[in-house]
Structure 1
Amino acid sequence: MTAERPRRDWRDTVAEAADLALLGLVVAVAALPLLTLAPAVATAAAALHDRSVTGSWPPARTSLARFGRALPAGAAVSAVALAVAALLAADLLALATGRVPGGGPALAVTAVVVAAVLGYAGLVAVAVGRTGGRGWRSAARHTARTCARHPGAWAAAAGACGLATLLAALVTPVAVPILGGYALAALHALDARRRSAVPEPS
């Protein structure tokens, strides 16, 4: 006879929500120098992966060590990500203000492209989290193949990131970092669902 798993109640839900909010705030603080954005996200993704596998968060010492190991490669990833984000933001702004022809259709297509890029980047972060916060290049290649094989999962990740971006524009600025923890958790949940539904080839 197997023991029944303890039933979760509202206190567990509130505790998990608070943990994710704190995770988002910690990532925001760690990413303040900008070039530490990717290492901060990688460390948070690794912590979420540990949480999903073991049921508990990793010790602070483990997360600090992961952050330190992720800094060299992560700084380059941060620079590339920030450059791409700046270009896409400038494109959206130019279309929205009418400085570039195309109007509403071009703006809508660009917004879809931005959401797709965000979804891909989010899935890359999840893949990096599965390897302890390292291996950006291999994670990017693996995620590209995954997105090609499972476009539905990519679309779901893009939708989650798009919704988080929309909410970030609507909520008070102080609450924006909290959304980061929830968005990363949603991406982890989407990826875990895909992996359980369609096991990846070995």
Structure 2
Amino acid sequence: MTGQPAPNWPEEPAGPAATRPDWRETLRNATDLALLGIVVTLAALPVVTAGAAVATGSAALHHWIENGSWPGVRPALRDLRRALLPGVAATVIGVAVAAVLTVNLLALSRGVVPGGTVLIAVTAALTAAAGGFAGLTVVQVGRQAGQGWRDAARAAWRIVLARPVTLLGTAGTVALAAVLCALILPPLTPILVGYTLFGLHATTRRIAGPVLSEDSR
């Protein structure tokens, strides 16, 4: 990762005199996002560190978007240490919810549990909504320097109530990443993690910008 300024992502150029980044800057930033995903994935390999790794990665990405540079290694490691214990609880909850929804979908699709197409569609919608809410919570915990999962979830819920379409955007981002990882590009999953985090931040800022501004006051 470099100390070069972040591009005007996800904001548009401020005026007619503003210029878009050239291909070298775009490539440099794309490489930074890929490296972010790889680092987050490696930090999450022990599983119990997954919550802390995602929170720290989201915080680093928020710092990059806001300040035009990545935080240093020492601040990132400090944030990771602080996020370890709270991240365990977030990981357990996330894995439990994902497991329940996945088991229900498999049981319904195989006819083990009666319900048919209607229940499959409802469960799939709930799964997508849960993924979108999880993604929105990750964005919020990143805006809080990787700390405070409970507060981040509450902030995410306020955003959903104020701008319900935000949930559709984050759910779509998570669903697209899941499809790419599972069906098309499994070996590139670590790289996609960085782009997914960026997609979640960009989508949230684009759709729920005014709500985020009010919360930051």
Distance 2:179 2:52 in 1: 24
Equivalent runs, 1:31-46 vs 2, <5 Å: 31-46=44-59
CA displacement at 1:150 relative to structure 2: 0.7
Give the match for residue 87 of structure 1: 100
Distance 2:47 2:74 in 1: 22
Please point out which of 110, 127, 141 is paired with 2:123.
Answer: 110
Equivalent runs, 1:187-198 vs 2, <5 Å: 187-197=200-210
Please tell me whether the aligned partners of residues 129 and 171 of structure 2 are also in contact (alpha carbons under 8 angstroms).
Answer: yes
CA displacement at 1:102 relative to structure 2: 2.1
**Cα offsets for 1:97-125 (capped at 9, x unmatched):** 22122233322221111111111111111
**TM-score, normalised to structure 1's length?**
0.92
SS of residue in 1 equivalent to 2:112? coil
CA displacement at 1:190 relative to structure 2: 1.4
Give the match for residue 13 of structure 2: none
CA displacement at 1:26 relative to structure 2: 1.3
Give the match for residue 64 of structure 1: 77
2:39 corresponds to 1:26: yes
**Cα offsets for 1:65-86 (capped at 9, x unmatched):** 1000000111111111111111
Give the match for residue 196 of structure 2: 183
Superposed CA RMSD: 1.8
CA displacement at 1:164 relative to structure 2: 1.2
Please say which of residues 172-181 and 130-139 is displaced more in the overlay: 172-181
Q: What is the one-letter code of the residue matched to 1:49?
A: H
SS of residue in 2 equivalent to 1:200? helix
Equivalent runs, 1:76-155 vs 2, <5 Å: 76-155=89-168
Q: What is the one-letter code of the residue matched to 2:55?
A: A
Which protein, 1 or 2, shows the higher relative CO under an 8 Å CA cutoff with sep ≥ 6?
1
Please tell me whether the aligned partners of residues 180 and 186 of structure 2 are also in contact (alpha carbons under 8 angstroms).
Answer: no
SS of residue in 1 equivalent to 2:214? coil
Would you say how many aligned residue pairs link Structure 1 and Structure 2? Answer: 200
Distance 2:103 2:51 in 1: 21
Which 5+ residue runs of structure 2 have no aligned equivalent?
Answer: 1-16
Summarize the Cα distance change of 1:73–1:24 in structure 2 as closer, same or farther, 3 Å threshold: same
Which 5+ residue runs of structure 1 have no aligned equivalent?
Answer: none
Distance 1:159 1:119 in 2: 7
**TM-score, normalised to structure 2's length?**
0.86
Distance 1:193 1:60 in 2: 29
Q: What is the one-letter code of the residue matched to 1:140?
A: A
Q: What is the one-letter code of the residue matched to 1:178?
A: I
Q: What is the one-letter code of the residue matched to 1:65?
A: R
Distance 2:117 2:28 in 1: 42
Q: What is the one-letter code of the residue matched to 1:32?
A: L
Q: What is the one-letter code of the residue matched to 2:33?
A: L
